[in-house]
């Protein structure tokens, strides 16, 4: 955590000294990932949790997704907030002795990404930033297991990870289409986390239609009685990007 704070202070100094105008964008969006959780504890006893997009109308109780950035010359600040709340019934879950009789799993996840960096490459049609930052992930999992070899359990987990990555966009010449991308990798409280995003934007008069595919991967390591917990969020997003 001290390294993260020190990095943020080093980044803030040149940002504060910039004299140019700031440019901002805000993108509310909807992400429909497939959520998978697995562990060696589940092998041979039933498999893990696997909730796909076809289950969302039944499983998703609430979601909030918001992406934003601020630019001043060659400096950039990025922020992204995700909150998902699922009420997952037994028929949404991969069959197996552990979960096949589970009456319900309540899963809520909040993921906050904050990063800042500098533009490495810039032309009329293309730019690429390098960024460093912090990802905070909080998971609340409440399971009610009936008649299984594992008891009901309700872990509340928080992970803080240092991340490095790249962020950029290619604008097709004389076109309203562009291709944004983002990727990062990091570690800290989790053994490893990485993320990759690729998309396409279409510009209207005052906003952009923002569509992409996003994959977020975690190797949390050992979490209590659960060994080597692996979790992924992977799926499409759609949103509206406002620039000012």
Going by pLDDT thresholds of 50, 70 and 90, the confidence category of residue 12 is: very low
Ranges 4-18, 74-88, 197-211, 223-237: which has the least confidence: 4-18
Give the residue from 91, 109, 107, 105 showing the smallest Cα distance to 150. 105
Q: How many whole angstroms separate alpha carbon 15 and alpha carbon 77?
A: 9
How many CB atoms are located within 10 Å of the residue 142 CB? 15
Please give the backbone phi and psi of residue 184, each rounded to the nearest 5 degrees, phi first: -150, 165
- Measure CA 210 to chain center: 16
The percent of residues in the chain predicted with pLDDT above 90, rounded, is 52
Going by pLDDT thresholds of 50, 70 and 90, the confidence category of residue 33 is: confident
Please give the backbone phi and psi of residue 57, each rounded to the nearest 5 degrees, phi first: -60, -30
Is there a contact between 85 and 61 (Cβ–Cβ < 8 Å)?
A: yes
Overall size of the chain counted in residues: 244
Answer whether residue 17 shows pLDDT above 50: no
- Domain ranges across the chain: 2-13+23-197+206-227
The dihedral over CA atoms of 66, 71, 74, 77, expressed in degrees to the nearest 10, equals -40
What's residue 103's pLDDT? 54
Residue 124 in tokens: 């009329």
Q: How many whole angstroms separate alpha carbon 94 and alpha carbon 239?
A: 30
Q: What are the pLDDT digits (tens) for 36-70?
A: 878 776 665 455 677 777 766 676 778 889 999 99
Answer whether residue 181 shows pLDDT above 70: yes
Q: How many whole angstroms separate alpha carbon 36 and alpha carbon 4?
A: 29
Q: How many whole angstroms separate alpha carbon 70 and alpha carbon 9?
A: 17
Q: How far is CA 231 from CA 23, 44, 192, 221, in A?
A: 35, 18, 11, 10
Residue 40 in tokens: 């060696």
What's residue 152's pLDDT? 54
Answer whether residue 177 shows pLDDT above 50: yes
Residue 143 in tokens: 């399971």
What's residue 16's pLDDT? 45
Is there a contact between 190 and 228 (Cβ–Cβ < 8 Å)?
A: no
Going by pLDDT thresholds of 50, 70 and 90, the confidence category of residue 104 is: low
Residue 162 in tokens: 């240092």
What's residue 88's pLDDT? 65
Q: What are the pLDDT digits (tens) for 124-174?
A: 999 999 999 999 999 887 766 555 545 555 667 899 999 999 999 999 999
Is there a contact between 172 and 125 (Cβ–Cβ < 8 Å)?
A: yes
Answer whether residue 73 shows pLDDT above 70: yes
Residue 132 in tokens: 């460093």
What value does the mean pLDDT of the chain take? Answer: 81
Q: What residues pair up with 84 in beta bridges, in sequence order?
A: 63, 109
pTM of the model: 0.79
């Amino acid at each position: 955590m001290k390294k993260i704070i020190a990095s943020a202070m080093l980044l803030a100094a040149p940002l504060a000294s910039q004299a140019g105008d700031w440019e901002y964008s805000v993108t509310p969006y909807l992400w429909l990932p497939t959520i998978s959780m697995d562990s060696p504890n589940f092998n041979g006893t039933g498999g893990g949790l696997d909730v796909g997009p076809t289950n969302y109308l039944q499983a998703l109780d609430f979601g909030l997704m918001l992406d934003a950035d601020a630019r001043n010359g060659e400096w950039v600040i990025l922020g992204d907030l995700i909150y998902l709340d699922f009420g997952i019934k037994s028929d949404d879950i991969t069959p197996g002795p552990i979960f096949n009789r589970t009456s319900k799993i309540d899963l809520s996840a909040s993921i906050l990404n904050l990063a800042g960096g500098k533009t490495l490459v810039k032309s009329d049609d293309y730019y690429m930033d390098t960024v460093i930052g912090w990802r905070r992930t909080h998971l609340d999992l409440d399971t009610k297991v009936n008649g299984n070899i594992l008891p009901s359990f309700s872990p509340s987990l928080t992970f803080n990870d240092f991340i490095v990555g790249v962020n950029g966009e290619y604008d097709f010449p004389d076109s309203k289409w562009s291709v944004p991308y983002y990727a990062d990798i990091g570690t800290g409280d989790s053994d490893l986390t990485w993320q990759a995003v690729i998309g396409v934007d279409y510009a209207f008069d005052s906003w952009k239609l923002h569509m992409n595919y996003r994959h977020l991967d975690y190797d949390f390591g050992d979490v209590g009685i659960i060994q080597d917990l692996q979790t992924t969020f992977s799926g499409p997003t759609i949103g509206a990007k406002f620039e000012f």
